[in-house]
């Protein structure tokens, strides 16, 4: 008999898949690793939650709090400048995570800025030899942003930390 997937069962399935990916991370991968985080303070209630999920997960996997360097920038557009300068000025960093929250308004600004930031961070990933992990949530409204920042859809900051740890445990 064909199984009908409800919203709840899809969410549970996604959680299980997430967990399977995360279970492959070595518990000590973060030891002696140096991570930079650039946090945009626009929609700061959201980016604080993303930051908190990210930071907690890095520490859980062995990253020493002293080895997490955080800077704040005014808006998500400045994440590109922040990441570029943090990497240039701190050559010992192993990875950088950029955290921002863009919420759709009445104008096309949302589209321009989201595209520009994604492209800017992509360019930095080509330019530099360490991973720059993209944790910029782009949401249609504040509730949707909350849902993804520690609400019913998980925490994208936590996911960004998992992505970073996975990248760090891989040899290239
Ligand atoms: C101007 C602006 C607007 C309208 N919306 C957001 C947003 O939803 N999220 C965000 O992180 N930043 C926003 N900004 C600010 C821009 O990112 C940037 O700081 C300014 O354009 C100055 O360069």
Per-residue pLDDT of the chain (172 residues; tens, 9 = 90+): 455 667 666 666 666 556 556 668 999 999 999 999 999 999 999 999 999 999 999 999 999 999 999 999 999 999 999 999 999 999 999 999 999 999 998 788 888 999 999 999 999 999 999 999 999 999 999 999 999 999 999 999 999 999 999 999 998 8
What does the CA dihedral 82, 47, 60, 25 come to, rounded to 10 degrees? -80
Active site residue 55: no
Q: Give the per-residue pLDDT at 22.
A: 65
Secondary structure (3-state) at 64: coil
How many A from CA of 75 to the centre of ligand 1?
A: 5
Q: How far apart are the first and last CA of the chain?
A: 45
Pairing state between β 149-151 and 95-103:
unpaired
Closest C-alpha among 67, 95, 92 to residue 83: 95
Give the bridge partners for 30, in sequence order.
none
Q: Give the per-residue pLDDT at 128.
A: 98
Q: Give the per-residue pLDDT at 14.
A: 64
Q: Give the per-residue pLDDT at 1.
A: 44
Q: Looking at residue 76, what DSSP letter applies?
A: G
Q: What's this model's pTM, rounded to 2 decimal places? A: 0.90
Please choose from 74, 77, 121 the residue to mutate so as to test ligand 1's pocket, defined by most ligand atoms within 8 A of CB. Answer: 77
Name the one residue in this structure whose structure tokens are 């960004």. 160
The one catalytic residue among 22, 55, 109, 142 = 109
């Amino acid at each position: 008999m064909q199984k009908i997937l409800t919203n709840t069962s899809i969410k549970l399935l996604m959680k299980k898949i997430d967990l399977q990916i995360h279970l492959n991370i070595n518990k000590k991968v973060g030891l002696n690793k140096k991570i930079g985080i650039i946090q945009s303070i626009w929609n700061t209630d959201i980016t604080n939650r993303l930051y908190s999920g990210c930071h907690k997960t890095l520490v859980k996997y062995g990253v020493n709090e002293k080895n997490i360097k955080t800077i704040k920038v005014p808006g998500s557009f400045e994440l590109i400048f922040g990441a570029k300068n943090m990497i240039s000025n701190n050559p010992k960093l192993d990875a950088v995570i950029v955290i921002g929250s863009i919420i759709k308004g009445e104008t096309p600004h949302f589209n321009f800025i989201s595209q520009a930031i994604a492209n800017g961070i992509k360019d930095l990933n080509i330019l530099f030899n360490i991973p720059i992990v993209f944790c910029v949530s782009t949401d249609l409204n504040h509730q949707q942003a909350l849902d993804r920042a520690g609400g019913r859809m998980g925490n994208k900051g936590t996911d960004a930390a998992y992505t970073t740890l996975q990248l760090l445990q891989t040899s290239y």
